[in-house]
């Protein structure tokens, strides 16, 4: 009986040690990549600060070594910078957790989101959100957290809006590609084709605030 108890305790001790080592490795082992892994939108660290890759270009000069010219957004202070990397240079992926949260309301300079699983509120500085005017009540966004601080908020790539105010088209208008301003239900103003009328539902790209087309009302926020 005593021998079995000793064996059982030994197994528990070994299991606990394994879990401790596994947690340590998970927390302290960074994912190393290189410039060959670059993709627009990816997040990695530069000088121990998380950045998001906006655009990149591989350059192979006639003389000298190849390099990669990039534009990145500092996800801590919001600044956009141009950085150059050697071709094949190692980079470290930022350990960022992403949680889906729903926009509820604005409180001064803070945007209030709610985690729909825990119902906890998260107040986020407006500076963390691109194209802020495209936010509308109930919109679900991805909130990125690094070192226990919110560093980025990403809207869906395209969102459905209702046109609430736009000038009417006029009889005899035959201009091709004509555009006019339209105020959306979120308060933002975008350019739309002349045939769009008040009350129509349209899709807008949240990356550049551009009209994408009429919406069929399916699977869009």
Beta bridge partners, 117, equal none
pLDDT, tens only, 160-196: 999 999 998 865 555 566 899 999 999 999 999 999 9
* In the block, residue with structure tokens 């109930």: 138
Concatenating the DSSP letter of every residue in 35-85 gives GGG--TT-EEEETTEEEEEEEEEEE--SSS--EEEEEEEETTT--EEEEEE
Q: How many CB atoms lie within 10 A of CB 204?
A: 24
| The predicted structure's pLDDT at residue 61 | 87
* CB-CB contact of 165 with 212 (8 Å): no
- Give the rounded distance of the alpha carbon of 131 from its chain centre: 12
- H or E, element range at 7: helix 2-28
| The predicted structure's pLDDT at residue 220 | 52
| The predicted structure's pLDDT at residue 25 | 38
For residue 62, the 8-state DSSP code is S
**Residues whose CB falls within 8 Å of the CB of residue 172, separated by 6 or more in sequence, listed in order:** none
**Residues whose CB falls within 8 Å of the CB of residue 156, separated by 6 or more in sequence, listed in order:** 139, 140, 141, 206, 220, 221
Low-confidence ranges of the chain (pLDDT < 50): 5-6, 8-9, 12, 14-15, 17-29, 219
| The predicted structure's pLDDT at residue 8 | 45
**Residues whose CB falls within 8 Å of the CB of residue 119, separated by 6 or more in sequence, listed in order:** none
The three-point CA angle 67-73-78 to 5° equals 155
Q: Which two tokens stand for residue 181?
A: 């301003």
Q: What is the largest CA-CA distance in the chain?
A: 98
* CB-CB contact of 88 with 35 (8 Å): yes
pLDDT, tens only, 63-73: 888 999 999 99
Which string of b and e fits 63-87 if b means at least 16 CB within 10 Å? Answer: eeeebbebbbbbbeeeeeeeeebee
The rounded distance, in Å, linking the Cα atoms of 48 and 94 is 9
């Amino acid at each position: 009986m005593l021998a079995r108890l000793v064996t059982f305790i030994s197994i528990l001790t070994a299991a606990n040690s394994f879990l401790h080592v596994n947690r340590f490795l998970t927390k302290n082992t960074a994912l190393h990549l290189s410039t060959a892994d670059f993709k627009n939108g990816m997040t990695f660290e530069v000088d121990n600060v998380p950045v998001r890759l906006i655009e990149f270009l591989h350059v192979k000069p006639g003389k000298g070594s190849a390099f990669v010219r990039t534009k990145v957004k500092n996800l801590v202070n919001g600044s956009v910078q141009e950085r150059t990397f050697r071709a094949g240079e190692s980079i470290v992926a930022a350990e960022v957790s992403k949680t889906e949260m729903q926009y509820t309301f604005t409180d001064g300079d803070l945007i209030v989101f709610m985690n729909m699983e825990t119902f906890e509120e998260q107040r986020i500085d407006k500076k963390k959100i691109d194209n802020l005017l495209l936010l509308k009540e109930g919109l679900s966004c991805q909130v990125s957290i690094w070192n226990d601080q919110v560093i980025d908020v990403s809207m869906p790539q395209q969102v459905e809006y209702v046109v609430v105010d736009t000038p009417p088209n006029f009889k005899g208008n035959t201009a091709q590609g004509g555009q006019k301003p339209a105020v959306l239900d979120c308060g933002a103003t975008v350019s739309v084709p002349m045939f769009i009328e008040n009350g129509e539902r349209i899709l807008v790209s949240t990356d550049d605030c551009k009209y994408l087309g009429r919406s069929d009302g399916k699977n869009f926020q």
